[in-house]
């Protein structure tokens, strides 16, 4: 409930629409309350005494009142819809901004499906209540108040009998709402699961097909889908049970009115018109009770969704900019790790253990180590994807926690281990960090990444459409576009994590040569896959289980470091001959 009340803050920018809508609904309700009164007058002043002109004039008045009511009801609907959509629009933006700003550690834990549900279905539910339900609730209260007052004014004795029915109905509704509330929460959670399965399935469709797991995945989807269906049916069962129950109460009440009121008419203490009006107001007193029931279900589903939305909006990003963060001045490229011990989550095993090293501006550092030794982790810490709690990472002497994220990240060009391209053309993808880059700049970086030639082989060249995640490119082609994308930023610090693992050796070698030029004047950190990388590096770090087991140049390490010699001979040695072959072949063709 507290979270739902917080949602009303979103109405602040649309207060004039909300007030307008409230005003219209009060007028429409007021008009509605006049109608049974007019019916009474038609009967008592017209029909019973045989006065035709009274019948005509009251009927005209009734038409006027009905038209007024329709007009205000329309106004109310239009204004409320605008307010509601405005709330939804702002909320979706906030959810999106929050998802964007939350750091990697949050995204490590939360399924994409959950985030999707929150940005869509949950926002929808809150919006429906905040923009519409709340105003309906006020009008319902007004209508009950008005009709009860009018019931008393017609016949207090009958009214008192009827009044007993109102709390009975409210209690009934409370019972139904209590049963439905936990189900509403469950429905949204199930929708999370459904979205998660869908998202994983669509993103991993190739893996699913190649492992012939379609049937298994279809079963998994079927299970969740069925559970979602069951939950919705259960919610609906409760709701559809609620309405006939309330109508039953209403029917009993109407019966009682005609019985007791009819007696009074016969005795002459109540006019016929009053009896009809009374029955009309009774309906009007019950109608909003039904409406409240409906709104209560809306309220409980909205409050379940509001909790989920604010849970996301309140989530603390692990990486936050300090309020007094300064903009990192244009960097020279000095990087230092000082006694960094790092865990991905509290209480976990340290993934980096007392790691210290320094890279001078313009130098190339190669990271070498077995899989899982912490190479990508070191790389993740430099753009501050995760925060270091023990030790410190410095760029040009600045502790990176003291500078703004934008000033830090915009000076680092990074090619991550997993290449991610976006829907759009090749040109759009290369220009991702610099949308206004000129064609010749794009071509220059594409050439450096050895991408220009294969791009030109496509009929549409740079305008070739890359599907979602770059599906119509090969792994190596994607990597080369990712390299070009990073180079276009002209960053002082260039980070390549496994950037060339999917390209063949000769392409890799050509990329290395082109990069050697581009790396001049930049600090580069490269995860070493191939021998060329280590030979060109100014410094090599040998990592094992998060510790630095050796550092130095290739010549130093090959003599002194056992692990290096082993990795070198088992993983890198063979490449060397091939590389020389490529070198001579390259020279021949040139």
Ligand X SMILES: Nc1ncnc2c1ncn2[C@@H]1O[C@H](COP(=O)(O)OP(=O)(O)OP(=O)(O)O)[C@@H](O)[C@H]1O
| 403 contacts: CB under 8 Å, gap ≥ 6 | 325, 326, 327, 328, 395
Q: Please, what's the b/e burial string for 75-99 (b: 16 or more CB within 10 A of its CB; e: otherwise)?
A: bbeebbebbbebbbebbbebbeebb
Q: Is 369 in the site for ligand X (CB under 6 A)?
A: yes
Interacting residues with ligand X between 389 and 448 (CB under 6 A)? 417
Interacting residues with ligand X between 208 and 267 (CB under 6 A)? none
Q: Is 375 in the site for ligand X (CB under 6 A)?
A: yes
> Least separation, in Å, of the C-beta of 1 and Mg ion?
46
Interacting residues with ligand X between 129 and 148 (CB under 6 A)? none
Rounded Cα distance between 5 and 1, Å, is 6
Rounded Cα distance between 9 and 245, Å, is 36
> Least separation, in Å, of the C-beta of 339 and Mg ion?
22
86 is in the binding site of which of ligand X, Mg ion, none (Cβ under 5 to 8 A by kind)?
none
Rounded Cα distance between 48 and 274, Å, is 12
230 is in the binding site of which of ligand X, Mg ion, none (Cβ under 5 to 8 A by kind)?
none
536 near 506, Cβ under 8 Å? no
> Least separation, in Å, of the C-beta of 571 and ligand X?
11
Q: Is 351 in the site for ligand X (CB under 6 A)?
A: yes
> Least separation, in Å, of the C-beta of 373 and Mg ion?
9
Rounded Cα distance between 451 and 69, Å, is 68
> Least separation, in Å, of the C-beta of 527 and Mg ion?
6
> Least separation, in Å, of the C-beta of 194 and ligand X?
25
Q: Is 373 in the site for ligand X (CB under 6 A)?
A: yes
> Least separation, in Å, of the C-beta of 373 and ligand X?
4
Which span (182-190, 370-378, 406-414, 459-467) binds ligand X, by CB under 6 A?
A: 370-378
Q: State which of residues 371, 517, 589, 590 lies at the interface with ligand X (CB under 6 A).
A: 371
143 near 127, Cβ under 8 Å? no
Provide DSSP, 150-186. HHHHH-HHHHHHHHTHHHHHHHHHHHHHHHHHHHHHH
Which span (135-143, 235-243, 372-380, 565-573) binds ligand X, by CB under 6 A?
A: 372-380
Distances (CA, A) of 436 to 88, 103, 198, 439, 466: 32, 27, 36, 9, 19
Q: Which is nearer to ligand X, 135 or 381 (CB)?
A: 381
Tell me how long the chain is: 590
Q: In this structure, how many other beta carbons lie within 10 angstroms of the beta carbon of residue 436?
A: 6
Q: In this structure, how many other beta carbons lie within 10 angstroms of the beta carbon of residue 563?
A: 17
Rounded to a whole number of angstroms, the distance between the first and last alpha carbons of the chain is 74
Q: Which is nearer to Mg ion, 418 or 453 (CB)?
A: 418
Q: Is 372 in the site for ligand X (CB under 6 A)?
A: yes
108 is in the binding site of which of Mg ion, ligand X, none (Cβ under 5 to 8 A by kind)?
ligand X
Rounded Cα distance between 61 and 82, Å, is 32
Q: State which of residues 46, 333, 374, 383 lies at the interface with ligand X (CB under 6 A).
A: 374
Place of tokens 């009927």: 59
374 is in the binding site of which of Mg ion, ligand X, none (Cβ under 5 to 8 A by kind)?
ligand X
The three-state secondary structure class of 22 is helix
> Least separation, in Å, of the C-beta of 490 and ligand X?
26
Q: Which is nearer to ligand X, 42 or 542 (CB)?
A: 542
* Residues in contact with Mg ion by the rule CB under 5 A: 376, 417
Instruction: List 465's β-bridge partners, or say none.
Output: 425
Size of the site for ligand X (CB under 6 A): 12
Q: Which is nearer to ligand X, 90 or 508 (CB)?
A: 508
Q: State which of residues 344, 398, 454, 458 lies at the interface with ligand X (CB under 6 A).
A: 344
Helix (H) / strand (E) element for 134: namely: helix 134-154
The residues binding ligand X (CB under 6 A) are 108, 344, 351, 369, 371-377, 417
């Amino acid at each position: 409930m507290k979270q739902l009340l917080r949602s009303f803050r979103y109405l602040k920018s649309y207060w004039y629409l909300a007030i307008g809508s409230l005003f219209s609904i009060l007028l429409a309700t007021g008009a509605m309350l006049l109608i049974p009164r007019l019916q009474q007058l038609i009967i008592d002043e017209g029909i019973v005494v045989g006065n035709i002109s009274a019948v005509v004039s009251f009927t005209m008045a009734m038409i006027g009142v009905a038209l007024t009511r329709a007009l205000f009801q329309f106004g109310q609907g239009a204004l409320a819809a605008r307010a509601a959509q405005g709330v939804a629009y702002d909320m979706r933006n906030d959810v999106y901004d929050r998802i964007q700003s939350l750091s990697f550690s949050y995204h490590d834990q939360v399924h994409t499906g959950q985030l999707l549900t929150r940005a869509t279905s949950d926002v929808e539910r809150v919006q429906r209540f905040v923009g519409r339900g709340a105003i309906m609730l006020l009008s319902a209260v007004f209508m009950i108040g008005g009709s009860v007052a009018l019931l008393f004014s017609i016949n207090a004795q009958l009214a008192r009998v009827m009044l007993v029915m109102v709390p009975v109905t409210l209690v009934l509704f409370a019972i139904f709402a209590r049963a439905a509330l936990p189900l509403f929460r469950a429905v949204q959670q199930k929708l999370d699961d459904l979205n998660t399965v869908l998202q994983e399935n669509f993103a991993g469709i190739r893996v699913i097909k190649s492992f012939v797991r379609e049937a298994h995945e279809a079963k998994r989807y079927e299970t969740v889908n069925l559970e979602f269906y069951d939950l919705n049916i259960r919610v609906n069962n409760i709701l559809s049970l609620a309405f006939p129950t309330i109508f039953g109460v209403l029917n009993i009440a109407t019966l009682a009115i005609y019985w007791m009121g009819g007696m009074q008419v016969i005795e002459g203490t109540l006019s016929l018109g009053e009896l009809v009006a009374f029955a009309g107001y009774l309906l009007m007193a019950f109608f909003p009770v039904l409406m409240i029931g409906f709104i209560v279900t809306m309220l409980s589903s909205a409050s379940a969704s509001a909790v989920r939305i604010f849970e996301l909006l309140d989530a603390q990003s692990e990486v936050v900019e300090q309020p007094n963060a300064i903009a990192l001045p244009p960097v020279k490229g000095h990087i230092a790790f000082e006694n960094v011990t790092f865990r991905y989550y509290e209480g976990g095993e340290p993934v980096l253990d007392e790691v210290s090293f320094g890279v001078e501006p313009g130098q190339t550092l190669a990271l070498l180590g077995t899989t899982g030794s912490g190479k990508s982790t070191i790389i993740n810490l430099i753009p501050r994807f995760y925060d270091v709690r023990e030790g410190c990472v410095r760029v040009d002497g600045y502790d990176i926690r003291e500078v703004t994220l934008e000033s830090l990240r915009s000076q680092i060009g990074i090619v991550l281990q997993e290449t991610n391209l976006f829907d759009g053309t090749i040109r759009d993808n290369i220009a991702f960090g610099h949308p206004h880059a000129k064609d010749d700049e794009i071509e220059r970086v594409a050439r450096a990444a050895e991408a220009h030639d294969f791009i030109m082989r496509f009929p549409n060249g740079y305008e070739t459409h890359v599907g979602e995640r770059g599906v119509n490119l090969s792994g190596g082609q994607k990597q080369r576009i990712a390299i070009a994308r990073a180079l276009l930023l002209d960053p002082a610090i260039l980070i390549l994590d496994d950037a060339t693992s999917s390209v063949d050796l000769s392409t890799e070698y050509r990329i290395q040569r082109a990069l050697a030029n581009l790396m001049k004047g930049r600090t580069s950190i490269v995860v070493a896959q191939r021998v060329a990388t280590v030979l060109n590096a100014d410094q090599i770090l040998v990592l094992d289980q998060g510790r630095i087991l050796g550092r130095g140049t290739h010549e130093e390490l090959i003599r002194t470091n056992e692990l290096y010699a082993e990795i070198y001979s088992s993983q890198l040695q063979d490449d060397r001959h091939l590389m020389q072959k490529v070198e001579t072949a390259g020279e021949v063709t040139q």
